[in-house]
Chain A
Amino acid sequence: MSVLIETRGVGHVFGKGEMSFRALREIDLSVNRGEMLMLMGPSGSGKTTLVQIIGALLRPSEGAVLLDGQDLSQLNETQRRKVRLAEFGFVFQEYNLFPTLTAQENVMVALDLLGVGRSKARTTANDLLASVGLSDKLHLKPELLSGGQRQRVAIARALAADPRALLADEPTAALDSESGQRVMELFRDLAHRQGRAVLIVTHDPRIQRYGDRVVRIEDGRIADDRAIAAHEKH
């Protein structure tokens, strides 16, 4: 398996002077294509900060982030925006769907951002929703969907650009365990069957066994990085 994402000596300091706070230091981490990586660690340890840096949302104070060998930290704002648009799929704890749009339309928004025309976007959105098991919910608004279904709509939306990497911050935190498992199975398929690099931040030790590897962060450093043995896996 080849490396898709790599951080080299990434460190991050929020703020300046006396008010500054070091959130990350010397993070060397790589995520392979087709790999499902679980990022764990106590609250405030820097997990979200790291995801934002990898996802080209935050420029690291130190170090480099490579996507397929290219340094993202050198790109300007517009270039980073385009990298996010075309290369990453983001999934959040709060699904952040438009409550006024149907499942189909929510996915179409992401396709619209990519410049996909309306009718093509509609069929693509239907395909994406079918791939997350929601073909029968195309025309429902989020309020009529369960939490797990909403998160699957959000995943379909994240797949609009057919991204090489998926970044999810606590995607199951708001879900009951059954829906959470369903969502994790979906992520695992996206990694294993479709060859995407999937990075998932979680607090929940019960879902860590869905991953291929678990990285623990403590106080902004990598405290542990280990593969999950086959017998531990779900």
Chain B
Amino acid sequence: MQNPDVVRRRVGSAGWGMTATIAWRNMSHDPIRLAATIIGIVFSVLLMGMQMGLLLYFIHTTATLVDHARADIWVAANGVNTVDLSTPLSQRWRYHAMAVPGVQKAESYIVDLAFWKRGNGTRESVILVGVDPDATMGQPWAMVPGTTAADALSVPDGVIIDRMYMEKLGVSKLGDMFEINDRRVRVAGFTQGIRTFTQSPYVFTTLTRARELARRAQDHIAYVLIRLEPGADAPKVLADLRERLIDCDVLMAPDISARSSNYWLFSTGAGMSLIMSGLLGLLVGGVVVAQTLYASTMDRLPQYSTIRAMGGPTSYLVRIVLVQAGLSGLIGYAIGIVCVYGLVFALRDASAAPELPFRLAIFIAFVTLLTCLIASIVSMTKVNRIDPTRVFR
């Protein structure tokens, strides 16, 4: 915009430095209001971080068997909802699958519910996972160094459990004997950090032993895990499998993984409630920021009006408001995310351990700042409408 001719002086545009000073002084001038603002944001970051961290944890645990099985394709009985709750399948589908071009390996896999009897006679429900000791897919992972899965499974009556559930299952050391469905098992190996969403621990064993314990027929399985030949045309193989395997669900691993997570999170409402409380946190934070920012802006109306009278643009005032919102957001986020990391660390061994990957932390930063921006709209509207003549009387 050209300066009017009458203006002799060159008028430049203001920088951010002074507006930042004004903004920060507005904030620090009223420590109680500042504390309220920051606490509001910290609360919102905490709630968001924990809820989304739990959501991630649940998404991961509900599909942990799939995500660690290293299979490309899963074959299940028709209508499978989630991997942990299987329905029986006949082993013959495995042989059918092996005949399909593009299939490199097809292996049997059993998942079954069972009861574990502790030494004191009390029972605990567990999820039996049966896998051939020589299988290339579906093996227990995260084995505690010392024994391999194959060694552990070759021990007579051997089962592998996770260390996190030792107490729950009454296990104190390797070699301890228990009963599953009234048949003897021996703890032959441990994994570290394999959690279940249902809180019924996984008990890994061989296919044969799993059938015996669960009293299933000799040809019983729950899933066929398939590995494709290198360079195979996955959609084509999938289509062929679907054609040949009648009454079966044939799914790419990521699809059955997603199906398992969605089942727990959305058909049970657990996921929705996590998302809703995360959003609630956001809303509370947003409202607190909107209110304290507005109050602080109202306190400065005479000065803002003076700036307008002196010839300052409204953008100068908008900048002050924006810096205030942004600073509150940054400080609140910084404190909040440290708290979230602290909680995540403290809960790392809890039965539900929220996860906070770096990307989630960045996402929360983004959402927090966006919320602060939205919360500043009321104040920005206010400073936009300031009447510069009101400073006169």
State A117–B12 Cα separation when bound (angstroms). Answer: 10
What 1/0 mask marks residues of chain A from 95 to 124 whose CB sits below 8 Å from any chain B CB? 011111100010011101111111001000
Q: Across the two chains, which residue of chain B brings its CB closest to A105?
A: B21
CB of B25 within 8 Å of the partner chain: yes
Q: Are A96 and B22 in contact (CB under 8 A)?
A: no
- B310→A90 contact, CB < 8 A: yes
A17→B83 CA distance, assembly (Å): 77
Q: How far is the CA of A79 from the CA of B7 in the complex (A)?
A: 9
* Residues in chain B near residue A121, CB distance under 8 A: 18
CB atoms of B3 and A82 under 8 A apart: yes
Decide if B217 is an interface residue (CB 8 Å cutoff).
no
Tell whether A114 pairs with B9 under 8 Å between CB atoms, given A96-B302, A100-B25. Answer: yes
Interface-forming stretch among B256-264, B371-379, B385-393? B385-393
Band of interface residues on A: 35 or more
Q: Is B142 an interface residue (CB 8 A)?
A: no
> Of the candidates B21, B389, B393, which one forms a contact with A101 in the assembled complex, judged by CB atoms under 8 Å apart?
B21
Range of interface residues on chain B? 35 or more
Contacts of A96 in B (CB 8 A): 302-303, 305-306, 391
Output the least CB separation between B349 and chain A (Å). Answer: 48
Residue pair B388, A113 in contact (C-beta under 8 Å): no
CA distance A94 to B303 in the complex (A): 10
Check if B392 sits within 8 Å of A52, measured CB to CB: yes
Chain A residues whose C-beta falls within 8 Å of the C-beta of B17 in the assembled complex: 112, 118
Q: Which A residues are CB-close (under 8 A) to B1?
A: 78-79
On chain B, the residues within 8 Å of A52 by CB distance are 389, 392
- Bound complex: CA A179 to CA B389 (Å): 26
Give the most central of B4, B17, B305: most A CB within 10 Å: B4
B9, A86: Cβ atoms under 8 Å? yes
Question: In angstroms, how far is the closest chain A Cβ from the Cβ of B301?
Answer: 10
Known interface pairs A85-B312, A113-B307; A100-B26 also in contact (CB < 8 Å):
yes
Q: Of A33-41, A64-72, A184-192, which binds chain B?
A: A64-72
Complexed CA–CA distance, A161 and B10 (Å): 10
Closest to A51 in B: B392
- B12, A67: Cβ atoms closer than 8 Å: no
- Verify if A3 is at the interface (C-beta below 8 Å from B): no
Q: Does A138 count as interface, using CB distance less than 8 angstroms?
A: no
Partner of A113, one of B302, B305, B312, B391: B312
Q: Are B9 and A161 in touch, CB under 8 angstroms?
A: yes
* A110 vs B22: C-alpha distance when bound (angstroms): 12
Q: How far is the CA of A87 from the CA of B5 in the complex (A)?
A: 12
Complex CA distance for A85 and B12, rounded to whole angstroms: 11
B331 within 8 A of A: no
Nearest CB in chain B to that of A97: its residue: B303
Q: Does B230 contact A (CB under 8 A)?
A: no
> Are the C-beta atoms of A112 and B303 separated by less than 8 Å?
no
A94 CA to B306 CA in the complex, in Å?
10
Is A75 engaged at the interface, CB distance under 8 Å to the other chain?
yes
**B392 and A48: CB pair below 8 A?**
yes
> Does A83 make an interface contact (CB < 8 A)?
yes
1/0 per residue A41-84: CB within 8 Å of B?
00000001001100101100000000110101001001101111
Nearest to B13 among chain A residues (CB) is: A115
Contact flag A79-B310 (CB < 8 Å), given A92-B391, A100-B26: no
Contact of B18 among A79, A86, A118 (CB under 8 A): A118
Q: A120 vs B47: C-alpha distance in the bound complex, in angstroms?
A: 46
CB distance from A51 to the nearest CB of B (A): 7
Q: CB distance A82 to B22 under 8 Å?
A: no
Measured CB to CB, the closest approach of chain A to B53, in angstroms, equals: 39
Q: Is the CB of B7 within 8 A of A90?
A: no
Contact B15 A112 (CB under 8 A): yes
Let me know if B6 is at the binding interface, CB within 8 A: yes
B215 at interface by CB-CB < 8 Å: no
Given that A52-B389, A57-B389, A94-B391 are known contacts, is A117 also in contact with B15, CB under 8 Å in the complex?
A: yes
Q: Which residues of the other chain, B, contact A110 by a CB distance below 8 angstroms?
A: 310
In the complex, chain A residues whose CB is within 8 Å of the CB of B393:
48, 92-94, 169-170
Task: Mark each residue of chain B from 1 to 44: 1 if its CB lies under 8 Å from any CB of chain A, else 0.
Answer: 10111111101111101110110011011000000000000000
> For residue A70, which residue of chain B has the nearest CB?
B6
CB proximity to A under 8 Å, residues B172-204: none
Whether B4 pairs with A79 at a CB distance below 8 angstroms is: yes
When distances are taken between beta carbons in the complex, the residues of chain A under 8 Å from B228 are none
A72 to B311, CA, bound (A): 14
A92 touches B392 (CB 8 A): yes
Q: What distance in Å separates the Cβ of A114 from its nearest Cβ neighbour in chain B? A: 6
Contact indicator B5/A70 (Cβ below 8 Å): yes
On whether the beta carbons of A112 and B311 are closer than 8 Å, the reply is no
User: In the complex, are the beta carbons of A85 and B15 less than 8 A apart?
Assistant: no
Beyond the given A72-B6, A118-B18, could you list 16 further A-B residue pairs with CB under 8 A, ordered by the A residue number? A57-B388, A57-B392, A78-B1, A79-B4, A81-B312, A83-B4, A92-B306, A92-B392, A93-B393, A96-B302, A100-B26, A101-B21, A101-B22, A101-B25, A113-B14, A113-B310
> When A and B form their complex, which 10 residue pairs have the shortest distance between CB atoms, in order from nearest?
A115-B12, A85-B311, A84-B311, A100-B25, A112-B18, A70-B6, A96-B306, A79-B4, A86-B9, A100-B29
